[in-house]
Structure 1
Amino acid sequence: MRSISPTGKYLVWAITACCCQGFLLQGYDQGVMSGIIGANNQFGRDFGDPDPTTQGLIVAIYDIGCAIGSLTVFFLGESIGRKRMIMCGATTMLIGTAILTSSTTRAQLYVGRIVTGVGNGFNSSSIPVYQSETCGGLVRGTLVCLNSAVTIIGLVIAYWLDYGLSFVNGPVQWRLPVGFQAVFALFLLLQISFLPDSPRWLIAHGRAEEGAQILARLEDRASDHPDVAEKLKEIEVSLELESAGGPFRYAELIQGGPLGNFRRICLCAGVNIMQQFTGANMINYLAPVVYQGTMGLSRNLSLILGGCTAVTFMLASFIPLWTVDRYGRRILLMISAAGLSLCFILTAALLSTGRKPAAYGAAAMVFLFQVFLGIGFLPIPWLYPAEVPTTRIRARGSSISSLSNWLSTFIIVQITPPAIANIGWRVFAIFAVFNALWVPIVYLFFPETKGLELEDVDHIFEKGGLTGGVWESKGGKTVRRRRIAEDVEVSEAKEKEEVREYAQ
């Protein structure tokens, strides 16, 4: 396919629109089942009135598919490339949607959920990397956070479409919401087909001339412009330093030392595990079930509140667009975790009284929970793994983070319905404890990446020590912006010395 013609900021926005389309699809796909299962409706009648455990499996088996897709990217994503991986994801989701929409048995339903999950695993592992590698360090946080905000728009669309069709009789009540995700997948496939691949991936795979042309388009410069030549040199020097040990070996992922690949991989996986154990997906996947099961509200009111919760989440998710590149990643994560813990402490306390007015108060705490979630633990777990790994391992680091996300989501979604049925309000107290733990963990181990170019990030762990230099660095800033320029100077000096020695 030929690439589209826009350059500069217009090309960056075209890429961002494509990435947002992928996250819109992800959000819709995550939320569409929550308003369909767990009710005396057409879906229940068509699939034999599944019990709570089966309902949890229908929702959670999608996450197994996502994990399989993420694992596939771990092994194949670097060789295939960001663009083609996203194209594979959109195509796979179209196939999965066709299987789902035509389902007549639970077995077919499970297969369709797994296949769509595989496609989303391709996308969730590749899209943040593609976005981060095609934009500058000063706006990277905002653009990737915009992707996350659009995820919640997809969730909102799914919730309200489910609610509107709950008043309609017949198979269209669930087949239309399930099938509608094909629209988003088709648009994603069309958009990515006409966009260029990541210049960093091209340069890393010996296609420096093509990568330089894309860098020139992103900078809105001629391919021989000094700024483009400088950027190309920085990427090449960074890759040269990362590749000093020769061809890639999987053992590099557990490498310590100044590069600290193992520490990077732990952060990628850890921030996503932490996100799931905030209790976020207990609310976002199964909000109507939570409102109905723990708070004793009616099914209709639970559906309405589920939709309103998603709208609140959507509005809050736009806050990081103005804060993530101004205040940084760490502070948003810590404020988010502290707020989430407080909300769930109050929710548990209110529900423990067993009184109806207290249940309404608990519902209000869930709304506030969504605000704190939107400002930190929604966007950063998608942004951070696309920044922290080096270019050499970025695709694999992102796939590991995505794999951790989906496996953790599977656990949470699978255990939530029986947990609500067995221990009720105590579920919220458990997640409150987890959220409180995330604050010191972020403070001690998560370096700040605000404003850094991806090539600067190679140096974030050079200070070493138990915390990788985070503890002793003000604000967790272990490396300054434009650190890569020093590497370029050293490389150029070395090249001049080699030329001088050769001439002699």
Structure 2
Amino acid sequence: MGLFGAASFQGFILLGYDQGIMSGLIGANNQFAQEFNHPNAKLQGIITSIYDIGCAAGALFNFFFGEKFGRKNKNIAGGTTMIIGTTLLGSSTTLAQLLVGRIVTRIGNGFNSSTMPMYQSEMCKRGNRGIPLSMQGTITIVGLCIANWLDFGLFFAKGPIQWRLPISFQAFFDICLVLQTLPLPETPCYLVEKDDNAAAVEVLTRLESSTATINDPEVIFLRKQVEISLEIESAGGPFRYSEPFRGGKIQNFRRVCLCCCTSLIYLAASFIPLWTVEKFGRRALLMSSAAGLCFCFSMVLILLSIGTRSMAYAATAFVFIFQIFLGIGWLPIPWFYPGEVTTTRIKSKEQVLEAFVNWNCVFTVVQNTPIAIFNISWHTFVIFAILCVLWVPIVYCVFPETNQLKLEDIDHLFEGGGVTGGAFKAKGGRAVQPGYHERGRGGEREGKRFVNGVEKREVEQSR
């Protein structure tokens, strides 16, 4: 598991580093500004936000073609693309080359950000999936810190090294990502989907334990669970691009909506979810995080509306508190929750849709926030506060709890029906109890499940 985690974390270090590296270069009277003729506010916004257009393009490419190459190859392609983009950025002599380099680099990041969470979630066991997936957010902020401190350290340097070194340094992480991913296997879910059962069993054996063999009952059971899950999901025939936008028994469209909505907020991270995500679950962290973010935005707009220097200092304090609430839920969970609520059959498509929507939203915010601040000043934070508080009832009503669920249990998440799929009335959003899929297969077994908050006893005959 360490090798899988290291490769995944390398991708998220890149994500954080890329997001933070321009913050120390744009808008200052430094060597970068001198070489690019002191870009004005509008051009600064374009230089910054066009990066996210590249991310969206990378995610969109994954949607249409990613399934042909697999999770591992997409990660390698992402790292390789970023190496090319970093080369263009570090050698930029014109604004056009700089913009092209940022787009190419972000296309590679779009590959990684729409693949890494899915890759790691399919390689993790049920009991410890939340902690390593939450660490992706922590690692993101590590990359952001590296970028910020490198910018700060080179601020006092003279000449082109002041900006070319920090931009070019990300190639180190790009190369590490490619080298770390090369020896890793493909995920068992993808291999079973491609009818390579022998390779899938080999990977499952490696994931189970160092002493396990391909004939171990647990390995055989896990393979059958994946096969059954894919069989259920494939009952409608070959995949069609309209499939993620339809309802039906598995409620794919509902899953797409959840995937696209969970990544609307992304900034910083903290270590808090490493100890809370498995204890309190995904829903509680998302709701408390959204309420805390709304509180911070509300306090900032109130303090800034007063207009005094002391109140401005107080508002700055809430910027730091904001980071804490963001790290509780809305930083890490949107990156792995889509992989938990989607079925294996369409997981890769919905993961890239999530990333595509994320980067378009980031582009929108980055492009328009400076304009909003200039025109309506502190009133901008009213918009952010309202958007944050709206997520509390949205999560409570329609987001099912996935803590401790096996990936195979996901097929049954929305069988409760209704507008909310059973999440609203179920206690704690537990529309499905852990192990429901396992108890419902392989012999006459008694299963327990909650539908609209009511425990139901079900007996299913073995197939």
Cα distance between partner residues in 1 of 2:89 and 2:376:
33
2:230 corresponds to 1:243: no
What's 2:109 paired with? 120
Q: Pick which of 180-189 and 165-174 moved more.
A: 165-174
Distance 1:206 1:354, change over 3 A: same
Query: TM-score, normalised to structure 1's length?
Result: 0.87
What's 1:297 paired with? none
Q: Pick one of 59, 68, 92 that aligns with 2:57.
A: 68
Deviation at 1:141, TM superposition (A): 1.2
| Runs of 5+ consecutive residues of structure 2 not aligned to the other structure | 446-458
What's 2:351 paired with? 398
2:238 corresponds to 1:253: no
Cα distance between partner residues in 2 of 1:448 and 1:328:
7
Cα distance between partner residues in 2 of 1:76 and 1:137:
29
Aligned 8 A contact 1:237 1:487 in 2: no
Deviation at 1:357, TM superposition (A): 1.2
Q: Pick one of 159, 163, 167 that aligns with 1:174.
A: 163
Cα distance between partner residues in 2 of 1:109 and 1:404:
24
Cα distance between partner residues in 1 of 2:186 and 2:172:
23
Cα distance between partner residues in 2 of 1:28 and 1:340:
24
What's 2:371 paired with? 418
Q: Which amino acid aligns with 1:254?
A: F
SS of 1:352's equivalent in the other structure is: helix
Aligned 8 A contact 1:92 1:116 in 2: yes
SS of 2:306's equivalent in the other structure is: coil
Aligned 8 A contact 1:237 1:491 in 2: no
Cα distance between partner residues in 1 of 2:428 and 2:221:
29
Q: Pick one of 189, 207, 214 that aligns with 1:200.
A: 189
Q: Pick one of 119, 137, 160 that aligns with 1:148.
A: 137
What's 1:4 paired with? none
Describe the superposition over 1:153-197 as per-residue Cα deviations: whole angstroms up to 9, x where unpaired. Answer: 000111111111111121111111100100001000000001111
* Structure with more contact order per residue of length (Cα contacts < 8 Å, sep ≥ 6): 1
For 1:1-400, what aligned pairs fall within 5 Å after superposition? Answer: 12-220=1-209, 221-273=212-264, 275=265, 280=267, 313-314=268-269, 317-400=270-353
Aligned 8 A contact 2:442 2:462 in 1: no
Q: Which amino acid aligns with 1:333?
A: L
Describe the superposition over 1:343-380 as per-residue Cα deviations: whole angstroms up to 9, x where unpaired. Answer: 11111111112211111111100000000000110011
Q: Which amino acid aligns with 2:252?
A: N
Deviation at 1:95, TM superposition (A): 0.2
| Runs of 5+ consecutive residues of structure 1 not aligned to the other structure | 1-11, 281-312, 498-504
Q: How many residues are paired up? A: 448
SS of 2:25's equivalent in the other structure is: coil
Q: Where in structure 1 do 4 or more consecutive aligned residues deviate above 3 Å? A: 490-497
Deviation at 1:489, TM superposition (A): 2.1
> Greater helix share, 1 or 2?
1
Cα distance between partner residues in 2 of 1:422 and 1:412:
15
Q: Which amino acid aligns with 2:347?
A: R
Q: Which amino acid aligns with 1:155?
A: L
Query: TM-score, normalised to structure 2's length?
Result: 0.94
Deviation at 1:494, TM superposition (A): 11
Cα distance between partner residues in 2 of 1:469 and 1:240:
24
Q: Which amino acid aligns with 2:213?
A: A
Q: Which amino acid aligns with 2:262?
A: V
What's 1:467 paired with? 420
Aligned 8 A contact 1:133 1:200 in 2: yes
Deviation at 1:429, TM superposition (A): 2.0
Q: Which amino acid aligns with 2:246?
A: Q
Q: Which amino acid aligns with 2:254?
A: R
Deviation at 1:487, TM superposition (A): 4.4
Cα distance between partner residues in 2 of 1:364 and 1:266:
34
Q: Percent identity?
A: 52
Deviation at 1:251, TM superposition (A): 2.1
Cα distance between partner residues in 1 of 2:142 and 2:298:
28
What's 1:482 paired with? 435
Cα distance between partner residues in 2 of 1:39 and 1:445:
44
Aligned 8 A contact 2:372 2:380 in 1: yes
Q: Pick which of 120-129 and 349-358 moved more.
A: 349-358
Cα distance between partner residues in 2 of 1:116 and 1:494:
51
What RMSD in Å do the two structures reach over aligned CA positions? 1.6
Q: Which amino acid aligns with 2:214?
A: S
Q: Which amino acid aligns with 2:75?
A: I
What's 1:308 paired with? none
Q: Pick which of 163-172 and 209-218 moved more.
A: 163-172
